[in-house]
Structure 1
Amino acid sequence: MRIVIHGFGRIGRVILRQILTDPAHHDIEVVVINDIASPETCAYLFKYDSVFGSLPGGATFTDGALHAGGRHIPLLTGVALPDLPLKGVDLVMDCTGALKSRGTATAALRAGARSVLISGPSNVADETIVLGANDDRMGAARIVSNASCTTNALAPLLRDLDTRFGMIQGHMTTIHCYTGSQPMVDAPRGPDLARNRAGAVSMVPTTTSAAKLIDRVLPDLAGRVTGAAVRVPAISVSAVDLVVRLTHPPDDPAGALREIAETNAVIGVVEDPCVSVDLRARTESLVIAPHETLATGDQLRIFGWYDNEWGFSARMLDVARMMHARED
């Protein structure tokens, strides 16, 4: 599979790190990387990472290419998506967070790319796909959104809960680490006033896109699941705290959650009393902590962890493979 990484920020760099360090991805050829930052800065930030540590073997930029993991990948600066060398490319991973135009996405297809996968919620995509929740809707979609990290954590669990026990309603709070959308010191960033406060100092109540995306990904549950977020002073790994009412509550809630994890490849389990740092670099979309389960009548409280960068990037690669498999 021949891919282009357009946008070499947090997700773009983690995707490439997984490609280089996981032998399962040896067959993926990265044709080119493009970002708005200087190539020297991109190479430096890829070599040294404050979350996942230094890249084994290091990384350098010379002769117009990123040299890492025995590969030499052309690294461009500030090229518009349709102007990239896309002829013969199987898939573009748009990791810019700035693809807002349907015309730009379709122009990439006309330039030669077979498909475009967007690393976030998107209104220009043909479909929003969450592995383990609605991937049966992939069809022939050429422009696909991989939703959000929180939607990937929540939707597969909700689907299984509804299928097995019948969902009446639910509310999710994501306890989310701070991200680049928040300032390090109080500064104007947008209309959500609390999000203008220093992200590494306070817990910040805010919204989550997952609340709306669940309706899109699981239309049968539309209007039955609400969501909110609290950004917290942690650099990686987030959590889902979900309370649901079920038509047929399981007799053994913790056991039922373990069974869901056994049958859904994107859901894992952690039995020990862990803290967030212990879940760093887990590839699952959600890692349930069964011992945190509480049940009262038809109401069930479920707690799970997710590495919002590493797990989400793993799903980007999984969905990319699904999209490519349609060509074979």
Structure 2
Amino acid sequence: MTVNDDSFTDWKIREEIAEAMIPIIGKLHRERDVTVLVHSRSLVNKSVVSILKTHRFARQIAGEELSVTETMPFLTALADLDLGPSQIDIALLAATYAADDRGLSVAEFTAEAVAGATGDKKIERGASRDVVLYGFGRIGRLVARLLIEKSGSGNGLRLRAIVVRRGAEGDLVKRASLLRRDSIHGQFQGTITVDEETSTIVANGNAIKVIYADDPSQVDYTEYGINDAILIDNTGKWRDREGLSHHLRPGIDKVVLTAPGKGDVLNVVHGVNHDMIKPDERILSCASCTTNAIVPPLKAMDDEYGVLRGHVETVHSFTNDQNLLDNYHKADRRGRSAPLNMVITETGAASAVSKALPELKAKITGSSIRVPVPDVSIAILNLQLAKETTREEVLEHLREVSLTSPLRRQIDFTSAPDAVSSDFIGSRHASIVDAGATKVEGDNAILYLWYDNEFGYSCQVVRVVQYVSGVEYPTFPVPAA
């Protein structure tokens, strides 16, 4: 048998195992609210090839490829347990089992590692929590996709309504079409139908009422059977407590803003300060995409080395706030053509760091350049550290943070030597450390952090909403503190 034959035979074996994984993963998700992960990447609703690619991607962060032959025994063991709602990373199960020298079977080790999700310790499945989207632009539609994707069990977040201003004739059909197809993020994964008579979009069985209103004061959500809901404002029209309070209408319990909050509104970066949200807090902000991209790595570096001062330069994709062609704009430079120019502009991300990470005493400055790409940005974080280190030590630290720490859903890591911005479209992490571009000399470290400023940020928004709604389930194995 030739090498080519060996490779093909190996592929067919792994393909067969991945096929066998799909019904187990689906059943765990639908019946028990269990999400199966590989290095923080969900395997729910993934194809055979996607499952294999997710395993193979492990070589970019763990240094070696992970095979389904290694993870399948752990998945089988999970299926035999009486699990409660949770997220379980089978890649970490496999890695920690390989380092364990007690001679336990896979089933014994798995039962011990996920004991917090079984028996008397497991979370009972509760009722779903209503969610309303106010606005349906770039972030609104991606958040909608995520909420629909996560509604498989019917016991988590449930997107009940979208509030928009009425457009021209055929408004509902056009909005459904924008949800169905996206030039950057591709086709919606599922089916979408429109009921114009009831002003409803049905996506993967989720009936989403489209409410037309010009102002929050015009809506009584209880009239639509919506109660105790979390409203996500992705318009950015109101950013202080007074303005956002207009959303606290009948049926709405909390308001989450997808832009930096002003005044005393808490700016939340999930993974860093979401535990500061008080149970009775009704208005909060998810800060900006850039703040979410830089704060987790800043925390990781400050915890390990101490940060004395820093500067962040963001090379940011253009957004709808800019003009396609030169035209009037209230800002000086944003009126110039976005697809034709690099545009120097301001960023509030640096000043927002102190709100999300108040224990960081270092002064962080920042600036931004908008560039002619439609999605994915990069933040260049230049830090003076409290102690000297080496490039190898920093990369090993950040690699480990991305694999096993509580920040592993926020920080990703790639060692791909030819990585470019489009490679990170659809990334669910707040930022991705580019190992090849990292520079360290003595007490100076320069980190290059890719981030999908649309989808990665939307994932952070949904994590915050899950947390405040009580449906953010524990992750196993438990990340190291």
If the length of structure 2 is used for normalisation, what is the TM-score? 0.64
2:145 alignment counterpart:
17
Partner SS state of residue 173, structure 1: strand
Q: Distance in 1 between matches of 2:231 and 2:361?
A: 31
The aligned counterpart of 1:78 is 213
Residues 308, 385 of structure 2: 8 Å contact kept: yes
Instruction: State the 1:93 CA deviation.
Output: 0.7
The correspondence for 2:305, drawn from 155, 165, 176, is: 165
* 1:272 equivalent in alignment to 2:405: no
Distance 1:24 1:297, change over 3 A: farther
TM-score, with structure 1 as normaliser: 0.93
Greater fraction of residues in helix: 2
Q: 2:308–2:361: 8 Å Cα contact kept in structure 1? A: no
Partner of 1:148: 288
> What is the distance in 1 between the residues matched to 2:264 and 2:231?
13
Instruction: Please state if 1:233 is matched with 2:377.
Output: no
CA shift, 1:101, in A, is: 5.5
Does the residue aligned with 1:219 lie in a helix, a strand or coil? coil
* One-letter amino acid matched to 1:174: T
Structure 1 position 41 matched with structure 2 position 180: no
Between 1:310-319 and 1:76-85, the stretch displaced more is: 76-85
Q: Give the distance between the partners of 1:25 and 1:203, measured in 2 at CA.
A: 45
Q: Write the letter of the residue equivalent to 1:43.
A: A
Alpha-carbon distance in structure 1 between the residues aligned to 2:217 and 2:414: 43
- Does residue 289 in structure 1 map to residue 430 in structure 2? no
Which secondary structure does the structure 2 equivalent of 1:114 belong to?
A: strand
Distance in 2, matches of 1:179 and 1:104, equals 24
Hey, what's the Cα distance between the residues in 2 that align with 1:209 and 1:114? Answer: 28
Partner of 2:48: none
Within 2, Cα distance between the matches of 1:258 and 1:86?
Answer: 46
- The yes-or-no answer on 1:128 pairing with 2:272 is no
Match of 1:31 among 160, 175, 188: 160
AA at the equivalent of 2:322: Q
Could you tell me how far 1:83 is from its partner in structure 2? 3.4
Matches within 5 A, 1:65-214: 65-87=200-222, 88-100=227-239, 102-123=241-262, 126-140=265-279, 141-191=281-331, 193-214=332-353
**Could you say if the C-alpha distance between residues 34 and 239 of structure 1 is closer, same or farther in structure 2, counting changes exceeding 3 Å?**
same
Which 5+ residue runs of structure 1 have no aligned equivalent?
A: none
Tell me which moved more, 79-88 or 270-279.
Answer: 79-88
Consecutive unaligned residues in structure 2, runs of 5 or more? 1-128, 474-481
Residue 23 and residue 108 in structure 1: after superposition, are their counterparts in 2 closer, same or farther (change >3 A)? closer
Conservation of the 8 A alpha-carbon contact between 1:184 and 1:199:
yes
Deviation at 1:44, TM superposition (A): 2.0
Which one of 261, 266, 279 corresponds to residue 402 of structure 2?
261
RMSD, aligned CA = 2.2
Cα-to-partner distance string for 1:204-231 (whole Å, 9 max, x where unaligned): 1111120221122223335611111111
Q: Is the aligned partner of 1:312 residue 2:447? A: no
Q: Which amino acid in 2 is paired with 1:51? A: I
Whole-angstrom CA distance in 1 between matches of 2:463 and 2:241: 23
How far residue 53 of structure 1 moved from its aligned partner, in angstroms, is 1.4
Name the CA distance, whole Å, in 2 between partners of 1:270 and 1:150: 19
Displacement of 1:234:
0.6
Between 1:118-127 and 1:277-286, the stretch displaced more is 118-127
CA contact (8 A) 1:19 1:25 kept: no
The letter of the residue matching 1:18 is L
Which AA in structure 1 matches 2:314?
T
- 3-state SS in 2 of match to 1:221: coil
Q: Secondary structure at the match of 1:220?
A: coil
Identity, % of aligned pairs? Answer: 29
- State the alpha-carbon separation in 2 of the partners of residues 110 and 50 from structure 1: 35
Change (3 A) 1:71 1:152: same
Which structure would you say has the larger Rg?
2
Kept in 2: contact 1:257–1:290 (CA 8 A): no
Q: 1:318 to 1:327 in 2, by over 3 A?
A: closer
- My pick for the range that moved more, 81-90 or 69-78, is 81-90
1:154 Cα shift? Answer: 0.5
- Which amino acid in 1 is paired with 2:365? T
Distance 2:153 2:264 in 1: 25
Tell me if structure 2 keeps the 8 A contact 1:267–1:286.
Answer: yes
Counterpart contact for 2:258–2:287, Cα < 8 Å: yes
Between the aligned partners of 1:25 and 1:4, the Cα distance in structure 2 is 19
